[in-house]
Amino acid sequence: MSLTDEEREIIVRIELEKAQQAYEEALLLCEKGFWSGSAGRLYYALFHAVSALLIRNRHQVSSHKGSHILFSSYFIKTGIIPQEYGRLYSNMEKMRESGEYDCTYDVDPAELKRSFSPAKEMIDLITKIVKE
């Protein structure tokens, strides 16, 4: 699917708004002790931010795995985005998947809480890059 520049900018803006909303939702769920739900929303905050970055740079986002591959290839391996954010993105996806699909897995509240600050930094960095 080919987007006009105007369509691309609209989608990028919506993705960034979704990233911020999902981050806020993750905070609220964490405050209430809903660890799996919070991990899921935090992952989706990162997913929407990464999607905005990829779309802004004319890459098609068609799956979660695809977004990871493109993000790593074009932004982590090239040094545009620090490697720790690539690891954070992968770790949050694993936490989300385990929390949602593995009934024997419990999200570690301490690990989840430690993820909020770097997640916010990553979203802010991507927002800055996208708006340049």
Place of tokens 């593995």: 102
pLDDT > 70? residue 100? yes
Please state, in angstroms and as integers, the Cα–Cα distance from residue 131 to each residue in 13, 26, 53, 96, 125, following that order: 10, 24, 10, 28, 10
Rounded mean pLDDT of 25-47? 97
Look up the pTM and report it. Answer: 0.95
| C-alpha–C-alpha distance, residues 99 and 95, integer Å | 6
Residue type, 27: L
Q: Name the pLDDT band for 61 (thresholds 50, 70, 90).
A: confident
Per-residue pLDDT at 65: 92
Return the pLDDT at 62.
86
pLDDT at 96: 94
How is residue 59 written in tokens? Answer: 């890459």
Q: Which residue ranges form the domains of the chain, and what is each CATH number? A: 5-131 (1.20.120.330)
pLDDT value at residue 1: 58
